[in-house]
Amino acid sequence: MHSNDDITIARAKRALTERILPAVYAESVALRVTASELPGEPVSAPDAIAGTFTSHAVGSPWGRAWGTTWFRLRGTIPPSWHGRRVEAVIDLGFDGRMTGFQCEGLVYRPDGTSVKAVNPQNHWVLITPEAEGGEAVDLFVEAASNPTILHGRGYLPTAQGDVLTATDDALYATRRIDLAIFEPAVFDLAMDLEVLLELQDHLAAGPRRARILQALDDALDLLDPRDIGGSADAVRAVLRPILDSPAESSAHRIAAVGHAHIDSAWLWPVRETERKVARTVSSMLALLEETDDFIYGMSSAQQFDWIRRARPDLWERVVEAVATGRFIPLGGMWVESDTVMPSGESLVRQFLHGQRFFEREFGVRSTGVWLPDSFGYSPALPQLIRRAGFEWFFTQKISWNQTNEFPHHAFVWHGIDGTGILTHFPPMDTYGAQLSGEELARASTRFRENRYAPASIAPTGYGDGGGGTTREMIARQKRTSDLEGSPRVEWQAPDLFFDELAALSPSLPTWSGELYLELHRGTLTSQHAMKAGNRQVEQLLVEAEIWMMTASVLRDAIYPHDEMDALWESVLLHQFHDILPGTSIAWVHREARERYAELAAAAESLITTALAALTGAGEKDLVANGSPFVNAEIAFGAIGPVRHPDGEATISESSDGWVLANDLVRVSVSRDGLITSAVDLASGREAILPGRSANLLQVHDDLPNEWDAWDVDRFYRNRREDLTSAIRTAARHDGERAIVDIDRAISTRSRVVQTLSLAPDSRELRIEQTTHWQEDERFLKLSFPLDVRAESSIAETQFGVVQRPTHTNTSWDDARFETSMHRFVLVEEPGFGVAVTNDSSYGFDITRVPTDNGWGVDLRVSVLRAPVFPDPDTDRGEHRHVFGLVIGTDTPGAMRAAAALGVPTRAIRGANSVEPLVRLVGDGIAVSAMKPAADRSGDIIVRVHEFQGRRSIGKLTASIATKSVRPVTLLEEELEPGAAAGLGVGEELALVLAPFEVQTWRLTPER
Ligand SMILES: [Zn+2]
């Protein structure tokens, strides 16, 4: 038999696109359009509807960048349309290649209630499923003229990313605003053809594919090009047996869940996300109402809360839909945050605030953590996920790896403490599935656990900028629910999917340690103000809780619960995976910088008030210590008298610079401001590699191949300039510390001023640095070549440390050329280590440096980057960093130095010292939070953790009598119901902690 396969396929494709799809709307009449362009920011629907509208000719331009234009659409359904389904068809000038990255609109009724959104992949609004004929139509569209920042224009700098610098000209022109008859049979025929065309495209040659092609030919023979609507049913009847042929018994199963990934800010500001959420939710509620088995999942309590606060009509419908079980709150977090950089306490609060919101508003909790898009996953997460009560974890981002393909799609992920969490990566490699034939085939063939697991998840709907599921996706699911040659697709809640997967978990593979994303490594450094702001406010809020909790128990001060919740929720929002990573437009980061300053001021004010309440008015010089370790001889959470150190720090001139010394260390600094020697006096051990200098600033050219603010590509290392000369260096002594001041040029445009200082009784050489940074596409590193043969680096992560090999034996090690830390990174040989601490940095790299007798390491902190996309002025301006070089230390020493750097003691005046409310004694354990219970019962929550990775014991005492002391979850709920004994004043609670274990204790005071 001759083969005509290609001719059949071309015939069907042309009939579909040129004849059948245009016939879905059989007849249309134009709506009368008037418009009202808002002068500034968005206003409420009632205010906008009450505005003045002037006529708008469809086809004419509208919409300056970031503007809002309200359109009013009026008309009458023609009497001849009696009995037909009538829709409004609205094309604001969409570019169909991208949804959520350009103009979009939300349709309202005249009473201000919302109907449904229109976007590039969703032009329609249902007027009536069955017209009488003669009905008046009156609708409003709130159209947002958001500029296109990314798509189709490469990664070129743009001024459109901030309303302050954006253009004023109209960006769009309306294309079609009509009433139209929707032909269900023609739509169904279009979907039949599309599904079969896509299915055959991924089938091997054989009878199934051949019969699909023959059916397409036979069917199209019945299509009357002059009466598509009239012949559609006959054409469909020929395709019916092919579409009815059931799937193979071994067919892969797809658990589809309607979804819209909505970035809480990215190429649009936060205020636009609030509207994006409303648009998507309106559309999804409409879709839920028109279907019976579709389900929709939405993450981020913050996004629900935006609706709750501003859109009561929509909120009421959301609450109803959640109650039916078809609108599913996912993820249990406040936002889909970055998980690499936030502190342990911050991640706990993401879960606490997220789950408490879902519980309070809907009476439900999420059972899994849903983070499809953030940039790598901390190895502390499995424990935190489990201790917050979740049962599973979902992402797909690791499929973006540049180098190594992740070996599993369904597995048990083990964290630093050994906790395992059931984890799934969808083999479709997307969080915005459309259920296309290509996606279904990919999921089926590439699923790594095909040998024993039957199914995978498909988050289905347009995402990033929202949009969600479409009726086309609904139609694809219907046709692929049981179709020969295709995976079986069904709408299924992720919980049900994971229940089935859990039953298989004994046979699932495991993955241990961090889920490192081999991409987007620049996000640890870009937009330094985000990093500095986040670190500062998350520490300040934890400190504020300590002092306010103490003041409320000891002095009956009122604890400002509402204010603290609001402050925390703002911090949590800014940990969203495009804000803290520094990958948003200029507008987002400008507002975030302002917000961080406000948050810090608010926290400082609360701390000041609480300390004043605790000490009482007086003139004694006192010291308050809010850091978890004894500092300046003051215990955690205590206030005591100032004590001056016994030793002293000296500075003397040497042949080529200065020597700074105290009883513990001796540091040589050259006249160029480089550290040429750093000696631990007790052991006589030199920390700096022979012939090399530390505190060396290095500038690299840094133009990644794509994703500028996100990526640093490995070849950045190949072009480097060492800043070895100084404009000026000078030594001084401020009475306590030995100091060297250094002024250095980075280029003709940028310079850096450093203060190196050594305090008495300290192993830490502190480097305080102000950088005037005006570079383009350069990467600033601070290098410490260390004579330490460390097989691994030890970097702080949430509630512990993560170790990574310093070699590049495997492609996995080699790809980890820029990695994360929290407040310190340590390298050590048994008995001797050197740490670098920081106040606002998250990125570092480490390489081995050959020496005469082996190798040492070059440990480099990532200081600043200068990408020009999406914010053309990223990081231009002044930045302050503080680093510490800790000479002769170990993990506990590094942890103490890092804590003292991040949360220094506070010098205050008052009448009296204050004993700590709780006291923790134990080696390698620390308190991470002491706060009031979130239920506002007056109970005290104390969280402790082991940070060295070994078993440890400790004792907890309280300065007040307690009725009960109970271990609780991260959500502060009892682990084992039942009576628990209290403690008398000073009575000890014995603690036993496993490696990296996080324990939360709930203390109920006697009252
Ligand atoms: Zn995202």
For 562-576, the pLDDT digits (tens) are 999 999 999 999 999
Q: Give the distance (Å) from ligand 1 centre to CA of residue 146.
A: 18
Cis check for the bond before 241: say yes or no (omega within 30 of 0): no
397 pLDDT more than 80: yes
403 pLDDT more than 80: yes
Which phi and psi angles does 812 have, rounded to 5°? Answer: -70, -45
H/E stretch holding 91:
strand 85-91
Once rounded to an integer, what is the mean pLDDT over residues 323-351? Answer: 98
Q: Give the distance (Å) from ligand 1 centre to CA of residue 372.
A: 8
- pLDDT value for 175: 98
Q: Give the distance (Å) from ligand 1 centre to CA of residue 182.
A: 34
Q: Give the distance (Å) from ligand 1 centre to CA of residue 439.
A: 20
Q: Give the distance (Å) from ligand 1 centre to CA of residue 374.
A: 6
Q: Give the distance (Å) from ligand 1 centre to CA of residue 466.
A: 10
- pLDDT value for 645: 81
Q: Give the distance (Å) from ligand 1 centre to CA of residue 305.
A: 19
Q: Give the distance (Å) from ligand 1 centre to CA of residue 464.
A: 6
Q: Give the distance (Å) from ligand 1 centre to CA of residue 270.
A: 13
Query: What is the spatial distance between Cα 21 and Cα 186, in angstroms, rounded to a whole number?
Result: 7
Q: Give the distance (Å) from ligand 1 centre to CA of residue 263.
A: 5
Find residue 953's DSSP bridge partners.
992
- pLDDT value for 977: 80
Once rounded to an integer, what is the mean pLDDT over residues 223-237? Answer: 97
The model's pLDDT over 600-610, given as tens digits with 9 standing for 90+, comes to 999 999 999 99
Q: Give the distance (Å) from ligand 1 centre to CA of residue 25.
A: 35
Query: What is the tally of helices (H) and strands (E) in the chain?
Result: 18, 52
For residue 328, give the 3-state DSSP assignment: strand
- pLDDT value for 927: 98
Q: Give the distance (Å) from ligand 1 centre to CA of residue 88.
A: 31
The model carries a pTM of: 0.97
Q: Give the distance (Å) from ligand 1 centre to CA of residue 461.
A: 14
Q: Give the distance (Å) from ligand 1 centre to CA of residue 165.
A: 25
Q: Give the distance (Å) from ligand 1 centre to CA of residue 70.
A: 28
Amino acid at 669: V
Q: Give the distance (Å) from ligand 1 centre to CA of residue 337.
A: 9
Query: What is the spatial distance between Cα 215 and Cα 241, in angstroms, rounded to a whole number?
Result: 9
Q: Give the distance (Å) from ligand 1 centre to CA of residue 637.
A: 39
Q: Give the distance (Å) from ligand 1 centre to CA of residue 371.
A: 9
Q: Give the distance (Å) from ligand 1 centre to CA of residue 423.
A: 19
Q: Give the distance (Å) from ligand 1 centre to CA of residue 274.
A: 15
Q: Give the distance (Å) from ligand 1 centre to CA of residue 264.
A: 8
Instruction: Give the torsion through C-alpha atoms of 283, 288, 294, 299, to 10 deg.
Output: 60
- pLDDT value for 451: 94
Which phi and psi angles does 843 have, rounded to 5°? Answer: -110, 145
The model's pLDDT over 838-855, given as tens digits with 9 standing for 90+, comes to 999 999 999 999 999 999
- pLDDT value for 595: 98
Q: Which long-range contacts (C-beta less than 8 Å, at least 24 apart) are formed by 401-407?
A: 401/517, 401/518, 401/519, 401/815, 402/518, 402/519, 402/815, 403/518, 403/811, 403/812, 403/814, 403/815, 404/518, 404/811, 404/812, 404/815, 407/448, 407/509
- Axis crossing angle, helix 207-220 with helix 184-201, rounded to the nearest 10: 150
- pLDDT value for 919: 96
- pLDDT value for 980: 83
- pLDDT value for 976: 82
Q: Give the distance (Å) from ligand 1 centre to CA of residue 153.
A: 20
Q: Which long-range contacts (C-beta less than 8 Å, at least 24 apart) are formed by 723-732?
A: 723/696, 723/697, 723/698, 723/699, 723/752, 724/672, 724/674, 724/693, 724/696, 725/672, 726/671, 726/672, 726/673, 727/751, 729/657, 729/669, 729/671, 729/672, 729/673, 731/651, 731/653, 731/658, 732/651
Q: Give the distance (Å) from ligand 1 centre to CA of residue 336.
A: 8
**CB crowding 281-306: b at 16 or more within 10 Å, else e:** bbbbbbbbeebeebbbbbbbbbbbbb
> Is the CB of residue 543 less than 8 Å from the CB of residue 593?
no
979 pLDDT more than 80: no
Q: Give the distance (Å) from ligand 1 centre to CA of residue 709.
A: 14
Q: Give the distance (Å) from ligand 1 centre to CA of residue 368.
A: 18
Q: Give the distance (Å) from ligand 1 centre to CA of residue 397.
A: 10
For residue 591, give the 3-state DSSP assignment: helix
Once rounded to an integer, what is the mean pLDDT over residues 598-625? Answer: 98
401 pLDDT more than 90: yes
Q: Give the distance (Å) from ligand 1 centre to CA of residue 168.
A: 28
Weakest-pLDDT range from 129-143, 515-529, 971-985, 989-1003 = 971-985
- pLDDT value for 153: 79
278 pLDDT more than 90: yes
Confidence grade of residue 230 (pLDDT, cut at 50, 70, 90): very high
Q: Give the distance (Å) from ligand 1 centre to CA of residue 465.
A: 9
- pLDDT value for 166: 97
Q: Give the distance (Å) from ligand 1 centre to CA of residue 463.
A: 8
- pLDDT value for 998: 98
- Residue 610 makes CB contacts below 8 A (sequence gap 6+) with 544, 547, 548, 550, 551, 557
Measured over the CA atoms of residue 37, residue 40, residue 44 and residue 46, the dihedral's sign is negative
Q: Give the distance (Å) from ligand 1 centre to CA of residue 431.
A: 9
Q: Give the distance (Å) from ligand 1 centre to CA of residue 871.
A: 17
Q: Give the distance (Å) from ligand 1 centre to CA of residue 903.
A: 32
Q: Give the distance (Å) from ligand 1 centre to CA of residue 262.
A: 7
Q: Give the distance (Å) from ligand 1 centre to CA of residue 261.
A: 6
Using alpha carbons, select from 805, 817, 840, 855 the residue that is nearest to residue 700.
Answer: 817
Amino acid at 409: H
Q: Give the distance (Å) from ligand 1 centre to CA of residue 407.
A: 23
Q: Give the distance (Å) from ligand 1 centre to CA of residue 265.
A: 9
DSSP line for 899-928: HHHHS--EEEEES--B--SEEEEETTEEEE
Q: Which residue has the higher pLDDT, 978 or 164?
A: 164
Q: Give the distance (Å) from ligand 1 centre to CA of residue 528.
A: 20
Q: What is the DSSP letter of 150?
A: S
Q: Give the distance (Å) from ligand 1 centre to CA of residue 533.
A: 21
527 pLDDT more than 90: yes
Q: Give the distance (Å) from ligand 1 centre to CA of residue 285.
A: 22
Q: Give the distance (Å) from ligand 1 centre to CA of residue 298.
A: 13
- pLDDT value for 211: 97
Q: What is the mean pLDDT of the chain?
A: 97
Q: Give the distance (Å) from ligand 1 centre to CA of residue 100.
A: 12
> Is the CB of residue 709 less than 8 Å from the CB of residue 874?
yes
> Is the CB of residue 576 less than 8 Å from the CB of residue 265?
yes
The model's pLDDT over 431-453, given as tens digits with 9 standing for 90+, comes to 999 999 999 999 999 999 999 99
Query: What is the spatial distance between Cα 632 and Cα 420, in angstroms, rounded to a whole number?
Result: 40
Q: Give the distance (Å) from ligand 1 centre to CA of residue 440.
A: 23
Q: Give the distance (Å) from ligand 1 centre to CA of residue 794.
A: 29
Confidence grade of residue 179 (pLDDT, cut at 50, 70, 90): very high
- Residue 506 makes CB contacts below 8 A (sequence gap 6+) with none
DSSP line for 522-579: GGGTSSHHHHHHHHHHHHHHHHHHHHHHHHHHHH-PPP-HHHHHHHHHHHHHHTBTTT
Once rounded to an integer, what is the mean pLDDT over residues 735-739? Answer: 95
Q: Give the distance (Å) from ligand 1 centre to CA of residue 248.
A: 36
Q: Give the distance (Å) from ligand 1 centre to CA of residue 576.
A: 9
Measured over the CA atoms of residue 228, residue 234, residue 238 and residue 239, the dihedral's sign is positive
Kind of pairing between the strands at 778-786 and 824-829: unpaired
Query: What is the spatial distance between Cα 977 and Cα 990, in angstroms, rounded to a whole number?
Result: 20
- pLDDT value for 585: 98
Confidence grade of residue 628 (pLDDT, cut at 50, 70, 90): very high
Q: Give the distance (Å) from ligand 1 centre to CA of residue 369.
A: 15
Q: Give the distance (Å) from ligand 1 centre to CA of residue 459.
A: 13
Retrieve residue 767's tokens. Answer: 């480097």
For residue 596, give the 3-state DSSP assignment: helix
Q: Give the distance (Å) from ligand 1 centre to CA of residue 375.
A: 9
Q: Give the distance (Å) from ligand 1 centre to CA of residue 304.
A: 17
Query: What is the spatial distance between Cα 15 and Cα 9, in angstroms, rounded to a whole number?
Result: 10
Burial class (CB in 10 A: 0-12, 13-18, 19+), 126: middle
Q: Give the distance (Å) from ligand 1 centre to CA of residue 299.
A: 12
